[in-house]
Amino acid sequence: MPRTRKDVMREATELTPTVHVGKDGITDTLVDEVKLQLKTRRIVKVKLLPSAGEDKKQLALDLAEKSKATLVDVRGSVATLCEKRYFQVKAD
């Protein structure tokens, strides 16, 4: 059943980041790991290390696009990604 942003964020509060983006940035291996974790967990937290670059929101958007996920939120240096079919965007 699709979840709203609020539902996903509630579930994500208990999670710790399991993927770290460092100085190498977004690599194919990193994208594959995110896809694998999304398949098993549906929600993945990604830690964007300072050596990854300045614009953390853009890094998170790029990672979400490459891994075919939905970017739910970026807070500080932690991004929350969700499987697309698991997340439902409310229509205004």
Mean pLDDT value across residues 30-35 = 96
**How far apart (Å, rounded) are the C-alpha atoms in residues 42 and 91?**
22
Mean pLDDT value across residues 5-33 = 90
Mean pLDDT value across residues 56-74 = 93
pLDDT tier at 92, thresholds 50, 70, 90: very low
Domains and their CATH numbers in the chain: 5-81 (3.30.110.60)
Checking if the pLDDT of 32 tops 90, the result is yes
| SS3 labels along 31-79 | HHHHHHHHHHHCEEEEEECHHHCCCHHHHHHHHHHHCCEEEEEEECCEE
Q: Residue 19: its pLDDT value, please? A: 94
